[in-house]
């Protein structure tokens, strides 16, 4: 199989990329198709659909290994069979994401809500068929207590000013919403959780790279995160 194209995504690193599609609703990604696939013809009719499935490769997996049982971070130490999870480490490292189709362009598509890192090879696009694929009575095998806690995001005066300026340069991107929704998911590695008090020696600061900006943040309590700086990368 050959990828049909490589995705450009607002998530520049795996760190901060949401764990599933739709969690950061306004996240931005564009796929330009290979020219030999004749995008102007092969995409014809897709514009009628609101959502599409993307089938893709976990190309940033560092090891090709997989384990039959995995510990999903949200299950707090509990393990599950790999096929009961969406772990990237699978016998065939193929990802599947249901995303909103924002635009069909001459040479590709723009989508919102993707959970893919920039540079991900895409194997296929398929239209989402609500009449057969939406199952209101479906149940999830994940424990109910896996629900995450509500987190609030605030910006320091400095970060607010930087965001305003950044937004003026990119009026078509929902920067604030992307930042807020990304941080609400608490992208910190699990080991950093629980050390938010000011006096804790393990209190940590992190940054997520979104578009051309490194968004620096720290958790000031388990429920409140502060964005305190945004540093821009100039290519």
Q: At 219, is the secondary structure helix, strand, or coil?
A: strand
Site string for ligand SAM, 143-182 (x = CB under 6 A): ----------------------------------------
Residues 105-124 that bind ligand SAM (CB under 6 A): 115-117, 120
Can you read off the two tokens belonging to residue 2?
Answer: 């050959």
- The span from the CA of 148 to the CA of 144, in Å, is 10
Least separation in angstroms between CB 52 and ligand SAM = 13
Other C-beta atoms lying within 10 Å of the C-beta of residue 67: 11
CA 110 to centroid of chain Cα atoms? 15
CB of 219 to ligand SAM, least distance (A): 19
Strand partners, 225: 153, 219
At its nearest, how many Å lie between ligand SAM and the CB of residue 111? 13
Pair of tokens at residue 126? 């398929």
Q: How far is CA 211 from CA 46, 155, 234, in A?
A: 27, 18, 11
Closest distance to ligand SAM from the beta carbon of 189 (Å): 11
19 interacts with ligand SAM by CB under 6 A? yes
Strands 152-155 and 94-104: unpaired
By CB under 6 A, how many residues form the interface with ligand SAM?
Answer: 19
3-state secondary structure of 70: strand
Ranges within 25-64 binding ligand SAM (CB under 6 A): 58-61
Q: Which of 32, 34, 86, 176 binds ligand SAM (CB under 6 A)?
A: 86
- Quote the least distance from Cβ 95 to ligand SAM, whole Å: 4
96 near ligand SAM, rule: CB under 6 A: yes
User: In terms of residues, how long is the chain?
Assistant: 235
Return the sign of the alpha-carbon dihedral for residues 53, 54, 57, 62: negative
Q: Rule CB under 6 A: say whether 223 interacts with ligand SAM.
A: no
Q: How far is the CB of 113 from ligand SAM (least distance, A)?
A: 10
Q: Does position 5 bind ligand SAM by CB under 6 A?
A: no
For ligand SAM, the binding residues (CB under 6 A) are 14, 17-21, 58-61, 86, 88, 95-97, 115-117, 120
């Amino acid at each position: 199989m050959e990828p049909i194209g490589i995705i450009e995504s607002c998530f520049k690193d795996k760190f901060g990329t949401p764990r599933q599609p739709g969690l950061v609703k306004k996240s931005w990604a564009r796929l330009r198709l290979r020219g030999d696939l004749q995008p102007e013809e092969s995409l014809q009719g897709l514009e009628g659909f609101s959502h599409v499935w993307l089938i893709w490769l976990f190309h940033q997996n560092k090891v090709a290994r997989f384990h039959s049982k995995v510990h999903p971070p949200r299950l707090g130490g509990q393990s599950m069979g790999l096929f009961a999870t969406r772990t990237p480490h699978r016998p065939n490292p193929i990802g599947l994401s249901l995303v909103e189709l924002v635009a069909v362009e001459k040479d590709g598509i723009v989508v919102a809500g993707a959970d893919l890192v920039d540079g991900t090879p895409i194997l296929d696009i398929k239209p989402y068929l609500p009449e057969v694929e939406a199952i209101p009575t479906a149940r999830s095998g994940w424990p109910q207590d896996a629900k995450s806690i509500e987190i609030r995001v605030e910006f320091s005066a400095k970060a607010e000013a930087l965001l305003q300026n950044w937004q003026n340069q990119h009026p078509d991107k929902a920067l604030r919403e992307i930042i807020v929704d990304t941080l609400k998911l608490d992208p910190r590695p699990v080991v950093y959780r629980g050390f938010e008090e000011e006096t804790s020696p393990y209190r940590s600061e992190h940054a997520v790279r979104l578009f051309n900006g490194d968004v620096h943040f720290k958790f000031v309590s388990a429920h409140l995160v502060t964005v305190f700086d945004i540093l821009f990368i100039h290519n």
